[in-house]
Amino acid sequence: MKLYLMRHGPAEDQAPSGLDCDRALTPSGRDRVVAVARALAAADEVPHWIWTSPLVRAVQTAEIVAVQTKLSERGGTVQAKRELALGSEGRALINHVMNRLPKRVMLVGHEPDLSALAEDLLGAPLAVPFGKAMVVGVAIDHSQSTVLRFILDPKTLILERVRDENAT
């Protein structure tokens, strides 16, 4: 299975409501997420399903990726999951994904949760900070052995493959 971990794009410092959960992507944040989604599509690294934190900035990120990668044309959907909200434990969600969903799933969430999840899956911390709109691609086999496949840095839009493999 290919699993894509994506941090939401850059968001406004404060929402008009004053609530953190209502913070939306900035215009430049939207542009960054569009560019990242296009880079994923160009590299044929597109999700079939997207699960996202229910916070506005994460939902907006997921929806942009869905549009740019033509998710609905492949029968995929975007679903908000409380398990991806701030302070959540993502490992149980990974187990659920492994048993129920197609082979390409994206999880859109927040820091420091995504770094902790990546470290849990890979058995070591990421070599780089998990930046806004960054995507970390991993492969998970049936025994739940996990391998880092690539890191897509949104500032350079270079998809750096760590392992050249065709996991589906």
* Residue 166, domain member (yes or no): no
* Residue 52, domain member (yes or no): yes
- What is the number of domains present in the chain? 1
pLDDT digits (tens, 9 = 90+) for 100-146: 656 899 999 999 999 999 998 899 999 899 999 999 999 988 777 88
Longest dimension (CA), the chain: 46
Residue ranges for the chain with pLDDT beneath 50: 164-168
* Residue 89, domain member (yes or no): yes
* Residue 28, domain member (yes or no): yes
Contacts of 54 (CB under 8 A, 6+ apart): 21, 80, 81, 82, 84, 85
User: Is residue 35 within a helix (H) or strand (E), and if so which, with residue range?
Assistant: helix 27-42
Query: What pLDDT score does 95 carry?
Result: 64
* Residue 167, domain member (yes or no): no
Give the range of the structural domain holding residue 95, as residue numbers without chain letter.
2-161
* Residue 110, domain member (yes or no): yes
Q: Which CATH number belongs to the domain containing residue 113 in this structure?
A: 3.40.50.1240
* Residue 157, domain member (yes or no): yes
Query: Residue 64 CB: number of other CB atoms within 10 A?
Result: 22
Query: What pLDDT score does 167 carry?
Result: 42
* Residue 168, domain member (yes or no): no
Query: What pLDDT score does 91 carry?
Result: 63
